[in-house]
C-alpha cells in the first residue's frame, strides 16, 4: 500500500499520510457503526427494538447524532483548568490512534513494519491513561477525578496480565512484529495460535489448553483496559455521572467516544493477531483458487475486519449480559487471579516450547 502510493506519487510524506488515513477512516467507521450496533445489540438483548425511525431500522441514527454533535455549543465551565481541559481529548485520541500505526490490516496495508510492533502497542496505550488523568483532573469535578483515578488504576493493573500473556506468545513465536505474528499463522484456522500454531506435532496439541487460558486472560484484561462493562467503573453511570468526561460536551465529548470505539477495535485486533491468525483467512483464499494474486490482500483485509468486528460484538454481548464489578472485586480479580494464572501459563508455555 505504502509502496504503491510511493511509486505513484514519488513522495515519502504524501504516501505516508495517505497510508495513515486508512486506519483513521477505519476508526471513524468503527465509531459510526459501533454506536449504532451497540444500541441495536443492547436493544435486542433486552427485548427492545432500539432506534427505528431514522432510515431503515434506524441505520442513520448515528449520522443524525453526529450532525447534532457538530452543532452543539461548546459549553465550558469557568472553574476548570482550560489548557489541560482542551488538550486531554486530543491526547486520549492520539494514544488510541497511535496504536493503529503498528496493526497490520492485510499483508499489503501495514502502517509501520517496526520490529517492536506489539511492544509498541502496549507502550503507546499508556498515553491514553495520561490523557484520562488529564481530563479528570482538569475538569475540577469530584466525579471526574474519581473516574479518572479509577480508570488509571484499572488500566495500569490490567496491563500486567496482558503483557505477561503477550510475553508468552512472543516467547513461543520468537518475534515482536505483528506482521510476522500474522504470517506465521498460515491461512487455515487449524494453524492459528489458539490451536497451537502452524507446526504440526506433539507440541501443537500440548499447547492448545494453555493457549485457550492465555486467550481468556488476555481477553478479560483487554476488556478492562478499554473500560467496558463489566469493568466500566471509571464511568459508572449510576455512581459517577459519566466518569472522567462528565464535564465534556459536543465534539470534545465525541473525541472520547471515538477513542473508546477505536480502542475497542484496537484490542480486538490485538487479540485477533495474537490468537486468531490476524489477517489470515480461516479457509484459504479465493485468489489462490482462481489464480488472481491481487485478490489476496483484499480478502485479508476483509477477514481482518470481520474478526475485529466479531470481537467487538463479543464485547457488546458481555456488556449487556454481565453486571458491573466493584472496585475491590476488580483489583482482586486482576492481582489475585489473572496475574498468577498468567505467570503459571507463561512458565508452562516456556517448558512446552522447549520440547
Partner 1 sequence: MDFYNIVFYLFALITVVSAAFVVTTKNVIHSAFFLLFTFFGVAGIYVLLGADFIAVVQIMVYVGGILILLLFGVMLTNKITDVEIRTGTIHLLPAAIGVGVFMGALIAVMVWTNWKSVPTEIPLTTTKTLGNLLITDYVLIFELLGILLLIALIGAASIARRDKE
Residues in contact with partner 1 by CB under 8 A are 12-13, 81, 83-84, 87, 114-116, 119-120, 122-124, 126-127, 129-130, 133-134, 137, 140, 142, 145, 149, 152-153, 156, 159, 176
- For partner 1, the closer of residues 49 and 347 by Cβ is 347
Hey, is 188 helix, strand or coil? strand
Supply the minimum distance, in Å, between the C-beta of residue 329 and partner 1: 19
- For partner 1, the closer of residues 81 and 288 by Cβ is 81
Supply the minimum distance, in Å, between the C-beta of residue 268 and partner 1: 21
Supply the minimum distance, in Å, between the C-beta of residue 60 and partner 1: 39
* Long-range contacts of the stretch 76-81 (C-beta < 8 A, 24+): 77/140, 77/247, 79/140, 80/138, 80/139, 80/140, 80/247, 81/137, 81/138, 81/140
- For partner 1, the closer of residues 64 and 84 by Cβ is 84
- Omega cis (within 30) before 189: no
Supply the minimum distance, in Å, between the C-beta of residue 162 and partner 1: 12
Map grid coordinates 471515538 to a residue: 258
Supply the minimum distance, in Å, between the C-beta of residue 12 and partner 1: 7
- For partner 1, the closer of residues 34 and 117 by Cβ is 117
User: For residue 2, how many C-alpha atoms fall within 13 Å in the half-sphere facing its CB?
Assistant: 17
Q: Where are the beta strands (DSSP E) in 19-121?
A: 104-106, 109-110
Cα–Cα distances (Å) from 32 to 37, 53, 62, 63, 355, in that order, read 9, 17, 6, 7, 48
- For partner 1, the closer of residues 171 and 292 by Cβ is 171
Map grid coordinates 500454531 to a residue: 197
Cα–Cα distances (Å) from 320 to 315, 331, 340, in that order, read 9, 22, 28
- For partner 1, the closer of residues 44 and 83 by Cβ is 83
Amino acid at each position: 500500500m505504502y509502496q504503491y502510493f510511493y511509486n505513484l506519487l514519488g513522495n515519502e510524506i504524501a504516501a505516508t499520510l495517505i497510508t495513515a488515513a486508512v486506519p483513521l477512516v477505519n476508526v471513524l467507521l468503527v465509531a459510526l457503526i459501533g454506536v449504532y450496533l451497540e444500541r441495536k445489540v443492547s436493544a435486542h438483548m433486552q427485548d427492545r427494538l432500539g432506534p427505528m425511525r431514522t432510515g431503515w431500522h434506524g441505520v442513520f441514527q448515528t449520522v443524525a447524532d453526529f450532525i447534532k454533535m457538530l452543532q452543539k455549543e461548546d459549553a465550558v465551565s469557568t472553574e476548570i483548568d482550560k489548557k489541560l481541559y482542551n488538550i486531554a481529548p486530543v491526547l486520549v485520541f492520539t494514544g488510541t490512534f497511535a496504536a493503529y500505526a503498528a496493526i497490520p490490516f492485510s499483508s499489503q496495508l501495514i502502517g509501520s513494519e517496526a520490529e517492536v510492533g506489539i511492544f509498541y502497542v502496549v507502550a503507546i496505550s499508556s498515553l491514553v491513561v495520561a490523557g484520562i488523568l488529564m481530563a479528570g483532573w482538569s475538569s475540577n469535578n469530584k466525579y471526574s477525578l474519581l473516574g479518572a483515578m479509577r480508570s488509571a488504576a484499572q488500566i495500569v493493573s490490567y496491563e500486567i496480565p496482558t503483557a505477561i500473556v503477550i510475553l508468552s506468545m512472543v516467547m513461543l513465536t520468537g518475534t515482536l512484529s505483528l506482521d510476522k505474528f500474522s504470517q506465521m499463522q498460515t491461512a487455515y484456522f487449524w494453524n492459528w495460535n489458539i490451536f497451537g500454531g502452524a507446526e504440526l506435532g506433539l507440541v501443537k496439541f500440548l499447547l492448545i489448553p494453555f493457549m485457550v487460558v492465555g486467550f481468556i486472560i488476555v481477553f478479560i484484561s483487554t476488556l478492562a483496559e478499554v473500560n467496558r462493562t463489566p469493568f466500566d467503573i471509571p464511568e459508572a453511570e449510576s455512581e459517577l455521572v459519566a466518569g472522567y468526561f462528565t464535564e465534556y460536551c459536543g465534539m470534545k465529548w465525541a473525541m472520547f467516544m471515538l477513542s473508546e470505539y477505536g480502542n475497542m477495535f484496537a484490542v480486538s485486533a490485538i487479540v485477533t493477531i495474537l490468537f486468531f491468525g490476524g489477517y489470515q483467512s480461516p479457509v484459504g483464499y479465493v485468489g489462490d483458487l482462481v489464480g488472481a494474486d491481487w485478490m489476496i490482500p483484499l480478502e485479508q483485509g476483509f477477514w481482518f475486519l470481520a474478526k475485529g468486528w466479531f470481537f467487538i460484538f463479543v464485547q457488546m454481548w458481555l456488556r449487556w449480559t454481565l453486571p458491573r464489578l466493584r472496585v475491590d472485586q476488580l483489583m482482586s480479580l486482576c492481582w489475585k487471579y489473572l496475574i498468577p494464572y498468567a505467570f503459571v501459563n507463561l512458565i508452562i508455555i516456556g517448558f512446552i516450547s522447549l520440547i
